[in-house]
């Protein structure tokens, strides 16, 4: 039995090493955080495959892209990008991400040196974006913050393992009780185990089982024969979820206050269409809304499918062409929006 | 059905015990039904092609053996050749030739696009076509007598472990085993298990994970730097080897669980010290098929050196075309034909070295240099094999030659090195033990610990990732 155990453990250690070095397995690059729920692990370096391929990591400050420190150099234009997996962009290298394209374009336009920071995080809804903005992003003194949202982000996306937001008297209330939960405490105890690639693989299996995917994976077509259509994905709900309106309204009101302060300019970018009611309200409180649909339409006219990934043959997040086009599209808008150099209070209207 | 899917493992867990339990005759019936289920699981409509191929070759071989009239024998051989190659030509090459012709015609202002047919390439057609052809040809040559039993012949054609991607078995080797199907011994079961484990590890953990990098980089080479493109090419060389040799090991292991011995298909090809030896170690069942049924009938090396070079070149050109209906495959075959001809010229009457004959450090260094040189020319050919067209292939080649390192050179170097070491460890284990089922060389208590670890990770990966088809399925 000892020999068996020794061989098993030895082989598992070698496999862990192989997975890490080859990128065949990715150790968890997120950590549990008592304030944020989950956050990127600073300094994590990994390979990630979804529709595309990502190679890179989290910088030492805990966000994606180059490590710009919290203290901003004078004369620098800082732009923060907030959003979900579309902004996180784990489908392509940072050098193709709209962050880089936007930064390069802004630097080309001048006159100020631009630093664009990627605060995207998979699964972020508007509430989490806003909370992340107030808790993390503002510490980096951005001049401009772009919130990439779609109607789906107006509803709560989270798994209930993080802050819970509600609107109380037209302001945003944050409930951090998750940090007292047994699940959170368990995850804190296991935080070293989380850093194993093998654990990540096992967790993915667990999640697939939890989602009910096991019969389909195990039985393949045989499962489909007896459950026709069972594995079809349910379409995303279209339109707003009215019960989130008070919360979202409170968030946009709070962002509008920030906007009026003159320290920072905030804009909403429609990564997917949002309802007319939302758009009108956001504009009414003085926050510009940039629609990306014309960018996608222009790509379509050129025969480019903006969300098709030939490497995996799948359709999903924005591809190389889309990131490039979005970055180029946003650059003049951001330049226009940004406060003039040296006059943080004189933002253009 | 893919070997690297859970449904195959379930299928195996049902089929193997039942086959062991059944007496010989019903066992063959059962295995035939299981084999048809295995093939029909992908698309049952293409079972008809398998039936047609089986019936024609069964009848043709019997008719050939039934007469001494050379013209009549030849007529039946031609019937077999025409029907098998006709099926292959229609399903695999019709659009290729028509499209190539249409492109030429377009230069003269004629539109022939309407000739293009909307047809699917049936999985494994190149493999079972060559397998059945070898049977009729061997009967025609008098190397073997035809089988009387249609059931056994059908099982020989459709035997599921090797049906869709080989090894391309000769009837002379497989058919007698099918006719006298024996119960597997304990040693067979152990060896089968070892081969399946090694094969699955190669295919799922090395091949598939390597393939993710390769697919992404080759699908958009303009986005990547020289070092990333070179890494993708190196990874492809490892992927295709792990993928195909892994498949072959699983096929051999599965057959072994049923008491059948399939031929070796790979023998550490990247440890070959020259290109001739490489082809003795890579896809052995195809290279020996091409040798016996194409190169030798063309005259082999019996008609002088010049004709030998031409024969080598022509054989490899057709071997390239066998791999896929694309000029890049033909070019790949042509490159290998050229390599072989040049090596033949350099060798003259000498026999190529096969294994390292260690006589000191100098001999080892010479061996390593030869192995590296062989690998590099094989690598160059893989570029054309993997690229979707010549424009892409030459773009990648130019970019690699013009060398400009990208941001991830070091990371990719680690990735390539890790995969190479993993592959090398497996290859050296086989090379040193001269045994593909090398885990059997360890003490059982260690072996089962290693098996458990390997299967844990294989299952976890299979569970979270969509199974990647075997590269050679498309051929």
- Alpha-carbon distance B150 to B32, whole Å? 11
DSSP strands (E only) in B146-282: none
Please judge whether A7 and B450 are an interchain contact, meaning their C-beta atoms are less than 8 angstroms apart. Answer: yes
Q: Please, which residues 217-256 of chain A have a Cβ atom closer than 8 Å to chain B? A: 217-222
CB under 8 Å to B292, separation ≥6 — which residues?
B134
Please judge whether B445 and A3 are an interchain contact, meaning their C-beta atoms are less than 8 angstroms apart. Answer: yes
Tens digit of pLDDT at every position of chain B (475 positions):
888 899 999 999 999 999 999 988 899 999 999 999 999 998 888 899 899 999 999 999 999 999 989 999 999 999 999 999 998 888 888 877 888 888 888 888 887 777 777 777 788 888 999 999 999 999 999 999 999 999 999 999 999 999 988 799 999 999 999 999 888 999 999 999 999 999 999 999 999 999 999 999 999 999 999 999 999 999 999 999 999 999 999 999 999 999 999 999 999 999 999 999 999 999 999 999 999 999 999 988 888 888 999 999 999 999 999 888 889 999 999 999 999 999 988 887 677 666 777 778 888 898 899 999 999 999 999 999 999 999 999 999 999 999 887 777 788 999 999 999 999 999 999 988 988 888 888 898 899 999 999 999 999 999 887 767 777 666 6
Q: Comparing C-alpha atoms, which of A70, A72, A98 is closest to residue A318?
A: A98
Q: Comparing C-alpha atoms, which of B256, B120, B97 is closest to residue B188?
A: B256
- Alpha-carbon distance B145 to B135, whole Å? 10
CB-nearest to A53 from B205, B216, B449 is B216
- Is A206 near chain B, with CB under 8 Å? no
Count Cα neighbours of A220 within 13 Å in the Cβ-side half-sphere: 19
- Alpha-carbon distance B53 to B90, whole Å? 14
Count Cα neighbours of B235 within 13 Å in the Cβ-side half-sphere: 29
C-alpha distance across the termini of chain B, in Å: 16
What three-state secondary structure class fits A219? helix
Percentage helix, strand, coil for chain B under 3-state DSSP, each rounded to 5:
75, 0, 25
Please judge whether A205 and B464 are an interchain contact, meaning their C-beta atoms are less than 8 angstroms apart. Answer: yes
What is the predicted pLDDT for the residue at A226?
79
Please judge whether A47 and B415 are an interchain contact, meaning their C-beta atoms are less than 8 angstroms apart. Answer: yes
> Per residue in B300-354, pLDDT tens?
888 888 899 999 999 999 999 988 888 999 999 999 999 999 998 888 767 766 6
The active-site residue, picked from B323, B336, B343, B436, is B323
> How long is chain A?
349
Asked if residue A140 lies in contact with residue A173, where contact means CB atoms within 8 angstroms, the answer is no
A90 burial level (CB within 10 Å; 0-12, 13-18, 19+): buried
What is the predicted pLDDT for the residue at A345?
44
What three-state secondary structure class fits B406? coil
CA distances from A103 to A81, A106, A332 (A): 11, 5, 11
What is the predicted pLDDT for the residue at B300?
84
β-sheet bridge partners, residue A64: A58, A118
B179 burial level (CB within 10 Å; 0-12, 13-18, 19+): middle
- Alpha-carbon distance B459 to B5, whole Å? 9
- Is B41 near chain A, with CB under 8 Å? yes
- Alpha-carbon distance A196 to B70, whole Å? 70
Q: Which of B12, B218, B459, B464 to mutate to test the interface with A (most CBs of A within 10 A)?
A: B464
Asked if residue B468 lies in contact with residue B281, where contact means CB atoms within 8 angstroms, the answer is no
Q: What DSSP line would sit under A259-325, residue for residue?
A: HHHSS-EEEEEESS---HHHHHHHHHTT--EEE-HHHHHHHHHTT--TTEETTTTEE-S--HHHHHH
Please judge whether A4 and B445 are an interchain contact, meaning their C-beta atoms are less than 8 angstroms apart. Answer: yes
- Alpha-carbon distance A26 to A49, whole Å? 9
What three-state secondary structure class fits B283? coil
- Alpha-carbon distance A175 to A196, whole Å? 31
Please judge whether A204 and B460 are an interchain contact, meaning their C-beta atoms are less than 8 angstroms apart. Answer: yes
Asked if residue A296 lies in contact with residue A326, where contact means CB atoms within 8 angstroms, the answer is no
Handedness of CA A215, A218, A224, A225 (dihedral sign): negative
Please judge whether B215 and A52 are an interchain contact, meaning their C-beta atoms are less than 8 angstroms apart. Answer: no
Closest Cα in chain A to B461: A201
CA distances from A329 to A83, A302, B241 (A): 17, 16, 44
Cβ-Cβ contacts under 8 Å, A7 against chain B: 445-450, 453
CA distances from A122 to A88, A153, A179, A198, B155 (A): 6, 11, 20, 22, 52
β-sheet bridge partners, residue A167: A172
Please judge whether B463 and A221 are an interchain contact, meaning their C-beta atoms are less than 8 angstroms apart. Answer: no
Asked if residue B262 lies in contact with residue B242, where contact means CB atoms within 8 angstroms, the answer is no
CB-nearest to A96 from B212, B223, B453 is B223
- Alpha-carbon distance A8 to A71, whole Å? 49
CA distances from A280 to A87, A168, A252, A260, A286 (A): 24, 22, 12, 18, 10
- Is A208 near chain B, with CB under 8 Å? yes
- Is B448 near chain A, with CB under 8 Å? yes
Cβ-Cβ contacts under 8 Å, A204 against chain B: 460, 463-464
What is the predicted pLDDT for the residue at B357?
75
Residue A221 C-alpha, separation from nearest chain B C-alpha, in angstroms = 8
CB-nearest to B215 from A21, A55, A311 is A311
Cβ-Cβ contacts under 8 Å, B462 against chain A: 217
- Alpha-carbon distance B191 to B173, whole Å? 19
Q: What is the mean pLDDT of chain B?
A: 90
- Alpha-carbon distance A114 to A101, whole Å? 11
Please judge whether B453 and A202 are an interchain contact, meaning their C-beta atoms are less than 8 angstroms apart. Answer: no
Cβ-Cβ contacts under 8 Å, B452 against chain A: 4, 8
Cβ-Cβ contacts under 8 Å, A221 against chain B: 7, 41
Q: Please, which contacts does A281-290 make with residues 24 or more away whose CB atoms are closer than 8 Å?
A: A281/A249, A281/A252, A282/A252, A285/A252, A285/A253, A285/A255, A285/A256, A285/A259, A286/A256, A286/A259, A286/A260, A287/A252, A287/A255, A287/A256, A287/A259, A288/A333, A288/A337, A290/A146, A290/A330, A290/A333
Asked if residue B319 lies in contact with residue B290, where contact means CB atoms within 8 angstroms, the answer is yes
Tens digit of pLDDT at every position of chain A (349 positions):
888 999 999 999 999 999 999 998 888 898 888 888 889 999 999 999 989 999 998 999 999 999 999 999 988 999 999 999 999 999 999 999 999 999 999 999 988 999 999 999 998 989 999 999 999 999 999 999 999 999 888 877 666 578 888 888 878 888 888 888 888 888 888 888 888 999 989 988 988 888 888 888 888 888 888 776 655 544 444 444 456 788 889 999 999 998 888 889 999 999 999 988 899 999 999 999 999 999 999 999 999 999 999 988 899 999 999 999 999 999 999 999 988 776 544 444 3
Q: Comparing C-alpha atoms, which of A124, A138, A140 is closest to residue A87?
A: A124
- Alpha-carbon distance B139 to B145, whole Å? 6
Cβ-Cβ contacts under 8 Å, A217 against chain B: 6, 462-463
Q: Please, which contacts does B96-102 make with residues 24 or more away whose CB atoms are closer than 8 Å?
A: B96/B325, B96/B326, B100/B327
- Alpha-carbon distance A129 to A148, whole Å? 9
- Tell me, yes or no, if B107 is annotated catalytic: no
Cβ-Cβ contacts under 8 Å, A49 against chain B: 212, 216
Please judge whether B209 and A24 are an interchain contact, meaning their C-beta atoms are less than 8 angstroms apart. Answer: yes
CB-nearest to A204 from B220, B446, B464 is B464
Asked if residue B195 lies in contact with residue B253, where contact means CB atoms within 8 angstroms, the answer is yes
């Amino acid at each position: 039995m000892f020999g068996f155990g020794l061989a098993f453990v030895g082989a598992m250690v070698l496999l862990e090493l192989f997975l890490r070095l080859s990128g065949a397995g990715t150790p968890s690059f997120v950590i549990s955080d008592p304030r944020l729920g989950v956050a990127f692990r600073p300094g994590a370096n990994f390979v990630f495959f979804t529709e595309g391929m990502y190679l890179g990591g989290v910088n030492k400050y805990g966000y994606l892209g180059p490590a710009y420190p919290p203290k901003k150099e004078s004369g620098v234009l800082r732009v923060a990008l907030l959003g979900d997996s579309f902004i996180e962009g784990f489908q392509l290298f940072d050098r193709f991400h709209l962050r880089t394209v936007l930064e390069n374009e802004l630097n080309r336009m001048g006159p100020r040196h631009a630093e664009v920071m990627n605060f995207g995080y998979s699964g972020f809804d508007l509430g989490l974006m806003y909370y992340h903005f107030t808790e993390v992003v503002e510490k980096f003194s951005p001049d401009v913050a772009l919130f990439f949202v779609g109607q789906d982000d107006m509803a709560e996306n989270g798994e209930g393992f993080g802050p819970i937001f509600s609107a109380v008297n037209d302001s945003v209330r944050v409930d951090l009780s998750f940090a007292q939960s047994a699940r959170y405490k368990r995850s804190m105890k296991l935080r070293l185990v989380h850093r194993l690639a093998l654990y990540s693989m096992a967790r993915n299996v667990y999640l697939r089982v939890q989602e009910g995917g096991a019969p389909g994976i195990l039985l393949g077509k045989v499962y489909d024969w007896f459950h026709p259509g069972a594995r079809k994905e349910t379409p995303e709900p279209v339109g707003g979820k009215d019960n989130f309106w008070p919360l979202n309204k409170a968030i946009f009101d709070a962002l509008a206050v920030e906007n009026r302060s003159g320290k920072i300019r905030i804009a909403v970018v429609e990564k997917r269409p949002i309802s007319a009611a939302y758009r009108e309200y956001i504009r009414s409180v003085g926050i510009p809304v940039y629609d990306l649909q014309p960018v996608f339409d222009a790509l379509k006219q050129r025969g480019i499918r903006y969300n098709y990934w030939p490497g995996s043959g799948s359709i999903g997040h924005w591809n190389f062409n889309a990131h490039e086009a979005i970055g180029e599209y946003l650059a003049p808008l951001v330049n226009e929006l940004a406060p003039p150099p040296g006059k943080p209070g004189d933002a253009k209207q | 059905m893919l070997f690297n899917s859970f449904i195959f493992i379930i299928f195996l867990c049902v089929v193997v015990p039942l086959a062991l339990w059944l007496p010989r005759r019903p066992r063959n019936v059962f295995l035939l039904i299981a084999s048809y289920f295995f093939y029909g699981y992908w698309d049952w409509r293409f079972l008809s092609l398998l039936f047609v191929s089986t019936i024609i070759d069964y009848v043709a071989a019997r008719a050939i053996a039934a007469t001494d009239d050379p013209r009549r024998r030849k007529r039946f051989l031609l019937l077999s050749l025409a029907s098998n190659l006709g099926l292959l030509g229609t399903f695999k090459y019709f659009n290729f030739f028509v499209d190539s012709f249409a492109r030429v015609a377009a230069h003269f202002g004629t539109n022939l696009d309407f000739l293009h047919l909307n047809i699917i390439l049936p999985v494994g057609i190149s493999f079972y076509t060559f397998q059945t052809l070898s049977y009729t040809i061997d009967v025609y040559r008098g190397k073997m007598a035809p089988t009387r039993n249609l059931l056994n012949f059908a099982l020989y054609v459709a035997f599921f472990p090797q049906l869709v991607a080989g090894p391309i078995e000769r009837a002379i080797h497989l058919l007698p085993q099918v006719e006298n199907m024996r119960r597997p011994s304990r040693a067979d079961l152990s060896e089968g298990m070892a081969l399946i484990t090694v094969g699955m590890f190669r295919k799922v953990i090395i091949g598939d994970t390597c393939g993710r990098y390769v697919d992404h980089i080759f699908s958009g080479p303009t986005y990547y730097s020289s070092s990333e493109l070179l890494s993708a090419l190196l990874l492809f060389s490892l992927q295709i080897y792990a993928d195909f040799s892994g498949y072959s090991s699983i096929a051999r292991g599965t057959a072994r669980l049923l008491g059948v011995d399939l031929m070796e298909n790979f023998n550490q090809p990247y440890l070959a010290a020259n290109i001739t030896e490489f082809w003795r170690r890579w896809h052995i069942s195809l290279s020996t098929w091409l040798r016996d049924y194409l190169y030798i009938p063309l005259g082999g090396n019996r008609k002088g050196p010049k004709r030998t070079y031409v024969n080598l070149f022509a054989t490899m050109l057709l071997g390239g075309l066998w791999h896929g209906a694309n000029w890049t495959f033909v070019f790949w075959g042509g490159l290998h034909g050229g390599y072989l001809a040049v090596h033949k010229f350099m060798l003259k009457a000498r026999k190529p070295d096969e294994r390292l004959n260690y006589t000191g450090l100098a001999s080892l260094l010479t061996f390593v240099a030869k192995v590296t040189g062989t690998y590099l020319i094989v690598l160059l050919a893989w570029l054309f094999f993997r690229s979707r067209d010549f424009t892409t292939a030459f773009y990648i080649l130019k970019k690699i030659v013009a060398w400009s390192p990208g941001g991830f050179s070091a990371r990719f170097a680690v990735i390539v090195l890790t995969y190479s070491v993993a592959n090398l460890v497996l290859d050296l284990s086989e090379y040193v033990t001269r045994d593909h089922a090398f885990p059997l060389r360890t003490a059982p208590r260690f072996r089962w610990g290693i098996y458990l670890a390997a299967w844990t990770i294989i299952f976890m990966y299979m569970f979270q990732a969509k199974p990647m088809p075997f590269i050679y399925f498309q051929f």
